[in-house]
Structure 1
Amino acid sequence: MSVLMSAFATLVGGLADLLQPLFHAGSAAAAIILFTACVRLAVHPLSRAAARGQKARTKLAPQIAELRKKHGKDPERMQKALMELHAKENVSPLAGCLPSLAQIPAFFLMYHLFSSREIGGEPNELLGHSLFAAPLGHRWADALTGDGVFTGAGLVYVALFAIVAAVATFSFRMTKRQMAAAPTPAAPEGPDGRPLPGMGAMAKVMPLMSFGTLLTVAVVPLAAGLYMVTSTTWAAVERYFLYREMWAAGAAPKASGAARGAGGAEAA
């Protein structure tokens, strides 16, 4: 682990040195943003695959409903039929989890890097860098006990919280639109076609999970929080472009249904 952390510290430090002529004292913060963008760019193929999988699962919903009617009382046959259907259509039920899972190692590396006073037996020089008045190794609690909420480092966190809140609101609306556009059951199902316990409530809470980033940014070192803010902003924009066609397709039937309803009302 120490070797990995030393290599990661060298990478971030090298990026900071490279960006120093442009960003001066904020070069390390800029390096974190650049590193996060590179990670998101590397994970982008997984995000595209997840979007294709979600669209394919949406199209398979009628077939899955037929399988449920046919094998609903036989979980083993239902599981086998679903696996065959997914294999036939080249759809992975777990594809949507991969982009999020791929982010975990990078986030924890950033967290540990700016939580450690020493790296490889040497003082961690990255802790001397800051974003404006806020040291990258400090947390929101440090800003509150120091300058206060609306001065110095506190203002940096106010700005980050405002960005996170805006992105979370945008993500919340996108999640609601995605759930409305996908003709899937209210409770997600397991491989046997039966609803998973507790997942109905989870589906209702899921749109609110984007606001959890606010809590994360408040308790982790500022460098890790900056990683989270950059990553979630990228993810929200990426998701908009990847799923906009599915939302438009989901909105079209509703619009035509509303038009038919209005026409029937006028005829009546």
Structure 2
Amino acid sequence: MLAFAPLHATVGVAGTALAHLTALLEPIAGGAATAAAIVLFTVAVRLLISPLTVAQVCGERRRAALAPQVRELQQRYANDPTRLQSEIFALYRSAGANPVAGCLPMLLQAPFLLVMYRLFSTAEGGTGLLDERLAGVSLGHHFGDGLAGAAGPLFALLLTALAVLAWLSSRRMRRAAAGTGAGTPVPVPAGGGSARDGDGAAAGLPGAALLGRLLPLLPYTTVLVALVLPLAAVLYLVTTTAWTALERAVLRRPQASPADTATARR
């Protein structure tokens, strides 16, 4: 169903590009050239869509700057949720911080991610990718196919990497939740972002506490997904997840306030 003509053609182009990259890496990487090409190709795609992530982070920071005003509105209209939502959206509009814009970069990334998934989890690319091997293990090998030989250590290494990355992401989400003062990472009314935006505008909404407990568990779903994907797709998943962690560390690092900057210059 997913292999309709435009998607299939795009996956074919991506598969051809990956094949050329593999050929370039063979003199250096030898038998691991295809695996290395998957890693480099994934990084290249993430670099291509990185402006979307930057735009998302900028939107988050603009909304975070409005957090004190949002909390004031929460106190003022605590008994009138409809008026609260209206006032929050008016505040965002006046500051040029669209609360829905934070979701757009993620939506725009979806086609890229779908192409990568099809390329690394099926033979749709037409390049024989899943027939190649890494450490003697076929890139089409699944966790459920058995862990004999090198498959066991290889999957153990990749799954451990995903688990560590998931733990780091979960810890970041919990810290972000604690930093809002609401105790839980909760969405802005009408889908306006998450607690990392710093506004905590929906702290009092029904189900927010449950959502706050469930969200930090979501990163661990990557480990479960890896259990049903072929090795090629697991390599892609580890690479893209590690890239996401790197992006978060760089783009969402704490920014010095003007007062701190002036003090440092002295």
Category of TM-score, reference length = shorter chain: 0.7 to 0.9
- Pairing 1:129-168 to 2, within 5 Å after superposition: 129-144=132-147, 147=148, 151-168=149-166
User: In the alignment, what sits opposite 1:205?
Assistant: 214
Cα contact 1:58–1:183 (8 A) shared by 2: no
Paired with 2:51 and 2:180, the residues of 1 have a C-alpha distance of: 22
Quick check: which has more Rg, 1 or 2?
1
> What SS class does the counterpart of residue 4 from structure 1 fall into?
helix
Paired with 1:97 and 1:67, the residues of 2 have a C-alpha distance of: 23
Paired with 2:80 and 2:55, the residues of 1 have a C-alpha distance of: 31
Paired with 2:25 and 2:119, the residues of 1 have a C-alpha distance of: 19
- Pairing 1:158-197 to 2, within 5 Å after superposition: 158-184=156-182, 186=184, 187-191=186-190, 195-197=204-206
Instruction: Give the residue type in structure 2 aligned to 1:179.
Output: A
Cα contact 1:117–1:124 (8 A) shared by 2: yes
User: In the alignment, what sits opposite 1:113?
Assistant: 119
User: In the alignment, what sits opposite 2:260?
Assistant: none
Instruction: Give the residue type in structure 1 aligned to 2:234.
Output: G
Paired with 1:219 and 1:231, the residues of 2 have a C-alpha distance of: 17
User: In the alignment, what sits opposite 2:85?
Assistant: 79
Cα contact 1:139–1:222 (8 A) shared by 2: yes
Paired with 2:110 and 2:233, the residues of 1 have a C-alpha distance of: 11
Q: CA distance change for structure 1 residues 215 and 75 in 2, over 3 Å: closer, same or farther?
A: same
Paired with 2:121 and 2:153, the residues of 1 have a C-alpha distance of: 22
User: In the alignment, what sits opposite 1:53?
Assistant: 59
Q: Structure 2: which 5+ runs fail to align?
A: 192-200, 258-266
User: In the alignment, what sits opposite 1:40?
Assistant: 46
Deviation at 1:179, TM superposition (A): 1.9
- The percent of aligned pairs where both chains have the same amino acid is 37
> What SS class does the counterpart of residue 252 from structure 2 fall into?
helix
Paired with 1:114 and 1:44, the residues of 2 have a C-alpha distance of: 21
Q: Give CA-to-partner distance per residue, 1:174-228, whole Å, 9 cap, x none.
A: 2222222234573434149655543321222212221111111111122221111
Paired with 2:253 and 2:124, the residues of 1 have a C-alpha distance of: 46
User: In the alignment, what sits opposite 2:21?
Assistant: 15
> What SS class does the counterpart of residue 188 from structure 1 fall into?
coil
Q: CA distance change for structure 1 residues 95 and 43 in 2, over 3 Å: closer, same or farther?
A: farther
The structure whose residues are more often helix, as a share, is 1
Q: Does 1:223 align with 2:232?
A: yes
| Of 178-187 and 26-35, the range deviating more from structure 2 | 178-187
TM-score (norm 2): 0.77
Q: Which aligned runs of 4 or more in structure 1 are off by greater than 6 angstroms?
A: none
Paired with 2:22 and 2:155, the residues of 1 have a C-alpha distance of: 21
| Alignment length (residue pairs) | 241
TM-score (norm 1): 0.77
Deviation at 1:83, TM superposition (A): 1.9
Q: Structure 1: which 5+ runs fail to align?
A: 250-268
